[in-house]
Amino acid sequence: MAQNVGNKNAEALFHLVDARERLTYPDNAAEGITDEGDSYVKTIAKRFFKNKVAVVSLGVFILLLLIAVFATQLSPHPRDAITGQFQAAPYDNFYLGTDDIGRDVLSRLIHGTQVSMIVGLGSVAIYVVIGTTLGLVSGYFGGVVDSFIMRVTEAVMSFPFFMVILTLVSLLGSGIWVVTAVLGVLSWPALARLVRGQVLTLKEQDFVHAAVATGYSTPGILFKHILPNVISPILVNATFGIATAILTEASLSFLGVGVQKPRPSWGNILSEAQSLRVLTAQPWRWVPAGILIFIAVLSINFIGEGLREAIEGETKN
Amino acid sequence: MAAEPKEKKPIVEIRSYKQYFNEGKKSEVRAVKDVSFSIYEGETFGLVGESGSGKSTTGRALIKLGDITGGQIFYKGEDISQIKRRKDLLKFRKSMQMIFQDPYASLNPRLTVKEIIGGALKVHGLETDSNKRTEKVYELLESVGLNKQFANRYPREFSGGQCQRVGIARALAVQPDFIIADEAISALDVSIQAQVVNLLKELKEQNNLTYLFIAHDLSMVKYISDRIGVMNNGRVLEVSNAGELYEAPLHPYTESLLSAIPTPDPESERHRVRTEYDPAYHHYDNLDRVALHEIAPEHFIYCHEDEIPLYRKKREKLLKKARQYA
């Protein structure tokens, strides 16, 4: 109602403006905008770096990454070489002692970081690509395409996850790349659903209609216009995905179907604790591996949490 | 009032367009039941009606944002439902553009102004060189009264009026012939409405555009339109020249709509009589021979054949009355 009353006045205003030679815009000054012109990424980064726990965790994660990359240079001893005494407690430059055949535990842990990082990042990279693409397609096209993709998703989800992995790994043979691939190929359903849900609301927004009206092709609309708006939940999901993948790899290796000896992984180092004697009398052989898994998973979870808060703060303001 | 277009050549023709959502299901919504009108080259056609009357749906169908349920829509003599090949579709998209109601929602929050406007240029291959494209974006920003320094900013950093001008710049980028302004000023406050409407008028003269101006606000439509169509409940009830519509509103719904415009004069506002329109009065659903009939040249009413003489008489009377007061 109020708007209607105003419109008569607006008419008067129009004629006034019309009388002028050229239209003027009082809001045209570049300095008229107070908001610092930060990009979206920068705003999120700023908020993320205010979260101390998350920043420390990010530091830890980067450190682990560096350790993985420079494993050979950092290790005091070769990975698989029998260099020391058997089952010795820490001595000399064997800072974490040796295992049952005299290999340096610390060097093996450092190389184990490589495995965890490859499996964690690799499998997440695989499932993010699959999950995002299927989610985008499913949500955007709807109808039969959507139904089909969602039924497949549910089918994959309904398998008991660990059993399928065990079966596949024992069929395909174990090893770091198989574990990575299997984890990647089985973990996408949750992400696909998440992305689909977001796309369902986004595709009804005017800016998507505007993109259609502008003439963008369908892939152009999906990847240029919709994807940037779903990137934040994907990122959060991916972080937690890395932690889960590291844990799953450790579990598989612990059970002996993951990464195979002599290649060390935190999981198969930990599996030595299956022997009661090691568990009770030789803590140096398994406690450090456990602590590393704990630290890696915890720090990644904190990073994810920090990201989530930084992004949700965005929507709240 | 804007000058009459010299040569009347229809750019858009809509023939008994229908749009049902969730057809055949329990939740079926008949958003548009029977819409027919033409828009001539170079004119501004105002489409008015209350919320839910189907005017925005009509605009969206016209720009091919979805499939239509029935009827035909022609653009430059071509049935738009037959445009299927990517090449033809791009040509169509380049020729027709839209300005949306919500200035914020119509701009992608993750893209800068440069990407939004430049994207339109890129899609149509208008400027392939990235430096030249940036220049062109600056030019477009300038033409809608925005500083070129805004190019690297995100939509949320702008006011509503500025966002709407970015939207207009995006529409203009591809040099269209026809622009649909879907409630383009409804979300803006009054002084900004004036600014945007004047900008649209200016751009129309500079670029030889044709507008479909969708609005629910009659005084604004009167100001900008050459011809006006009145919609209610999924039908176009009256189409007429803007001047005649306000002098001789023939359909009871148009009368009611016009009587609802408040006047800024408190004295006359006190004595203003509102005419109520009862949609049950017309049983359009159950009658045949009901269609848009020409009562007088360029004045159409959605009515039964038998009603035509009555409307003609009414028109004579109203016009005589209007001339007396003039």
Give the separation between CA A59 and CA A194, rounded to whole angstroms. Answer: 28
At B192 the pLDDT is 83
Closest residue in A to B122 (Cα–Cα)? A216
- What is residue A209's predicted lDDT score, i.e. its pLDDT? 94
pTM reported for the whole predicted model: 0.80
Q: Find the DSSP H helices in chain A.
A: 2-19, 40-50, 52-69, 71-74, 105-141, 143-158, 161-172, 176-186, 188-202, 206-214, 218-220, 227-255, 266-270, 276-281, 287-316
For B87, name the nearest residue in chain A, comparing CA atoms only.
A215
* Residue B283 placed within a domain: no
Instruction: Supply the pLDDT for residue B138.
Output: 93
In this structure, are B36 and B146 located in the same domain? yes
Chain B residues closer than 8 Å to A39 by CB: 154
- Residue B60 and residue B173 in one domain: yes
**Three-state SS letters, A59-105:** HHHHHHHHHHHCHHHHCCCCCCCCCCCCCCCCECCECCCECCCCCEH
Q: CA-CA distance, B148 to B140, in Å (whole number)?
A: 9
Average pLDDT on A268-283 reads 87
- Token pair 């477009």 is found at B140
Asked if the model's pLDDT at residue A38 lies above 70, the reply is no
Contact A206 B105 (CB under 8 A): yes
In this structure, is residue B238 part of a structural domain? no
Contacts of B63 in chain A (CB under 8 A): 213
Residue B20 lies in a domain: yes
Chain B contact probe: residue of A21, A27, A31 with most B CBs at under 10 A: A27
Please tell me the predicted confidence (pLDDT) of residue A135.
96
Assign a CATH topology to domain A50-316. MetI-like fold (1.10.3720)
- In this complex, do A33 and B262 lie within 8 Å of one another by their Cβ atoms? no
At residue A16, the pLDDT reads 43
Q: What is the CATH number of the domain that holds B111?
A: 3.40.50.300
**pLDDT by residue (tens digit) across A93-112?**
888 888 888 889 999 999 99
Provide, as residue numbers in chain A, all residues whose Cβ is less than 8 Å from the Cβ of B125.
none
- Give yes or no: residues B176 and B127 share one domain: yes
- The mean pLDDT of A110-125, rounded to a whole number, is 93
Helix (H, G, I), strand (E, B) or coil at B256: helix
Of B65, B197, B264, the CB nearest to A213: B65
A214 vs B120: CB contact, 8 Å cut-off? yes
pLDDT(A10) > 60: no
Residue ranges in chain B whose pLDDT is less than 50: 1-3, 5
- Please enumerate residues of A whose Cβ is less than 8 A from a Cβ of B: 1, 3-11, 13-14, 17-18, 23-25, 27-30, 33, 35, 37, 39-40, 205-207, 209-217, 220, 224-225, 228-229, 231
Element (H, E) at A257: none
A244-269 burial by CB neighbour count: b if 16+ within 10 A, else e? bbbbbbbbbbbeebbbeeebbbbbbb
**Hey, are the CB atoms on A27 and B110 less than 8 Å from each other?**
no
Partners of residue B150 in chain A, C-beta under 8 Å = 30
pLDDT at A27: 66
Contact B174 A217 (CB under 8 A): no
Q: pLDDT higher for B4 or A140?
A: A140
* Whole-number pLDDT of residue B179: 95
Q: Do residues B229 and B239 touch, judged by C-beta distance below 8 A?
A: yes
Last residue of a domain, which of B199, B225, B251? Answer: B225
pLDDT, position B1: 44
**Structural domain includes residue B27:** yes
Q: What is the pLDDT of residue A28?
A: 66
A9, A33, A213 member nearest B63 (Cβ): A213
**pLDDT of amino acid B13:** 93
Q: Is residue B1 in some structural domain?
A: no
Relative orientation angle of helices A161-172 and A176-186, to the nearest 10 degrees: 140
Q: Is the pLDDT of residue A18 over 50?
A: no
pLDDT reported for residue B170: 94
Determine the Cα–Cα distance for residues A186 and B156; give it in Å rounded to an integer. 39
Asked if residues B134 and B118 have their Cβ atoms less than 8 Å apart, the reply is yes
Is B235 inside a domain boundary? no
Residue A238 clears pLDDT 80, i.e. is over it = yes
What is the pLDDT at residue B280? 67
Q: Are residues B183 and B248 in the same domain?
A: no
Q: In this prediction, what percent of chain A has a pLDDT beyond 90?
A: 43
Residue A272: partners with Cβ closer than 8 Å, 6 or more residues away: A99, A100, A278, A285, A286
Strand stretches in chain B, DSSP E: 10-21, 29-40, 44-49, 70-75, 78-79, 96-99, 178-182, 210-215, 227-232, 235-241, 290-296, 299-304
* B67 plus B151 within the same structural domain: yes
> Given this model, what pLDDT does residue A19 score?
38
Within 8 A of B167 by CB-CB distance, chain A residues are 210
Share the mean pLDDT of chain A: 84
Look at residues B225, B252, B276 and tell me which one is the last residue of a structural domain: B225
Shared domain for B215 and B255, answered yes or no, is no
- Segment A172-207, tens digit of pLDDT: 888 889 889 989 999 999 999 999 999 999 999 999
pLDDT of residue A132: 96
Residue B268 placed within a domain: no
Cα distance between residue B207 and residue B199, in whole Å: 12
The domain of B297 spans 243-261+288-326
List the single residue in B157, B198, B202 with the smallest CB-CB distance to A33.
Answer: B157
Total number of domains in chain B: 2
Which of B198, B225, B252 is the endpoint of a domain? B225
Would you state the pLDDT for residue A33? Answer: 45
Specify whether B55 is located in the same domain as B136: yes
**Residue B254 and residue B185 share a domain:** no
One domain for residues B252 and B325? yes
* Residue B251 shares a structural domain with residue B177: no
B216 lies in some domain = yes
